[in-house]
Amino acid sequence: MRILTGFLLSLILAGGASAARAGYTPDFDSGIDVRLAIEAALEAASSAGGLLPEPQGRPAPETVWVSMEKSDVAALDGALFKRAPVAQNKRIAIYEYETDRLAALADGMQRSFYRAPGFFAHDTLESALEDLKAPPAVPSRAYTLDQAARVRDLAARVKEEPVLAVINAMSAFKNRGSRYATGVDASKWLQKEWAKFASGRSDISVAPFKHAAFPQESVVLTVRGAVEPEKVVVIGGHIDSVAGYGDTPAPGADDNASGAAVTQEAIRVLVESGYRPSKTLKFIGFAAEEAGLRGSADIAAAFKKEGVQVEGMLNLDMVNYKGSEKDIYFVTDNTSADQNAFLGRLIDTYLGYTWGTLKCGYGCSDHASWTKNGYPSSYAFESTFEQHSPFIHKPTDTLGSCGGSAVHAAKFARLAAAYAAELGK
């Protein structure tokens, strides 16, 4: 179980919380009633930007197990790593680490690589050792393209204005961090917006996916398949944002209001067109990606445990900053090469955009959670790795920093709709 934000934030902000709006009723899967604790903390709060406290009953342990890329360790300040790893493979090393030094480690990562936190913290060694295992092999499958009329209809319906509206609304929440009251609000807001698409359609439902370890909920819109409902296609992106710790505004317009907005636009055109897919489509706004892929880790693991047949997953994270020559880039590591090739064919056949590839070099977003659980996943991205938006994880990640338009994002909405139609058929 990943526990990163919990410990980091509770240490750094010393339990501070304020400005949570009245009427918030947390409801955790774990069955722990944290309302009293939250109320007490809110009363005692000083001024830490609406941060909600740790759920009761999860005291911070003194040590955790951190898994990190070895190349990162080598490049970091040696003072952070005067110790031998307790386990390692070619790429990843695991260290026992004092909880109260995690903040310094995250800070070192941010200064060296502009990645925060850039490592995973686990509360047991057993959980950390999972990170050393190769992900389960994904069985190969055939991808066919024969839904031309459907795809062209959907692509023609995509508009920039609804995408802009979602980016504006989401980036207006001061900080969508998974432990912030405003992060909880943003998730609730998206649930309400998506619920509008379910009215008048008995095959469409919207539900939160609740997480035991943090209050922000993931948002799931399901279009139940008309022929093979047990087969599921997942499309989504994270809804949380980050910009350092504490009271800093984190508009996260590109990272990742843009991906959530594109996910919603794909839903909107599918509903508007009256499309009824054969397979089940699940559109998901993932909570707590910036805290270490925690929302998607919970969901993908739950799906695997329940034996859900996920036909494919498309991750949309940072899709509105046109930093490079080509239109769409696919991440080639921690993704399915077969499905990436299928997405390239979708573009060539129906959309006519230019596309390229990039590598993250680490499990940089929610696609990695699906790969880890043996599901074919892909990650469509705005640019090359080097030319991505320089504003992310800062208060300057605004729509204005993306040129104030959604021209770039709209391409990804067309791709998502095409993917839904050809994989969901």
Q: Is 397 in the site for Zn ion (CB under 5 A)?
A: no
CB 171 within 8 A of CB 398: yes
Partner in contact with 166, chosen from ligand BES, Zn ion, none, beta carbon below 5 to 8 Å by kind: none
- The helix or strand, by DSSP H or E, that contains position 93, with its residue range, turns out to be strand 92-98
Residue 230 annotated as catalytic: no
Active-site entry in 289, 298, 311, 327: 289
Residue 255 contacts Zn ion per CB under 5 A? yes
Q: Which stretch binds Zn ion (CB under 5 A): 140-148, 178-186, 255-263, 323-331?
A: 255-263
263 binds ligand BES (CB under 6 A): no
Side-by-side strand order, sheet with 218-223: 204-209, 218-223, 279-286, 228-238, 309-316, 377-381, 328-331, 355-358
CB 29, CB 5: distance < 8 Å: no
Residue nearest Zn ion, Cβ-based: 255
Interior angle at CA 234, CA 244 and CA 205, nearest 5: 100
Tell me the closest approach of the beta carbon of residue 119 to ligand BES, in angstroms: 8
Residue 193 CA to residue 170 CA, distance in Å, equals 11
Beta pairing partners, 285: 219, 237
The one catalytic residue in 72, 123, 290, 366 is 290
Please report whether residue 382 would count as binding Zn ion according to CB under 5 A.
Answer: no
Please pick, from the candidates 317, 327, 397, 422, the single residue that binds ligand BES as defined by CB under 6 A: 317
Give yes or no: 367 in active site: no
Cα(118)–Cα(29) distance, integer angstroms: 27
Inter-residue contact 249 to 395 (CB < 8 Å) = yes
Q: Is 290 a catalytic residue?
A: yes
Q: Which does 385 bind (CB under 5 to 8 A by kind): ligand BES, Zn ion, none?
A: ligand BES
Shortest distance (Å) from residue 318 CB to ligand BES: 5
Residue 393 appears among annotated catalytic residues: yes
Which residue out of 393, 397, 408, 422 is catalytically annotated? 393
Buried b (16+ CB within 10 A) or exposed e, 246-284: ebebbbbbbbbbbbbbbbbbbbbbbbeeebebebbbbbb
Among 242, 158, 238, 235, which Cα is nearest to 190's? 238
228 counts as catalytic: no
What is d(CA 392, CA 114) in angstroms, rounded to the nearest whole number?
Answer: 9
**388 is annotated as an active-site residue:** no
Piece of the chain touching ligand BES by CB under 6 A; list 57-65, 70-78, 113-121, 142-150: 113-121
Residue written as token pair 């070619």? 90
Site string for ligand BES, 265-304 (x = CB under 6 A): ------------------------xx-xx-----------
* C-alpha span between 238 and 217 (Å, rounded): 11
Residue 360 as a binder of ligand BES (CB under 6 A): the answer is yes
Residue placing its CB nearer to ligand BES in the complex, 231 or 372: 372
Binding-site string for ligand BES from residue 179 to residue 218, where x marks contact by CB under 6 A and - marks none:
----------------------------------------
Rounded-to-integer distance, Cα 49 and Cα 286, Å: 22
Least spacing, CB of residue 201 vs ligand BES, in Å: 31
Q: How many CB atoms lie within 10 A of CB 242?
A: 25
Residue 146 CA: distances (Å) to CA of 151, 279, 417: 9, 16, 14
Report the 10 Å Cβ neighbour count for 37.
17
| List 122, 185, 211, 238, catalytic entry | 238
385 binds ligand BES (CB under 6 A): yes
Q: Which does 388 bind (CB under 5 to 8 A by kind): ligand BES, Zn ion, none?
A: ligand BES
CB of 388 to ligand BES, least distance (A): 4
Question: Which residues make Cβ contacts (< 8 Å) with residue 36, sequence separation at least 6?
Answer: 56
Catalytic residue ranges: 238, 255, 289-290, 317, 393
- Binding site residues, Zn ion, CB under 5 A: 255
Q: Which residues bind ligand BES (CB under 6 A)?
A: 115-116, 118, 255-256, 289-290, 292-293, 317-318, 360, 364-365, 385, 388
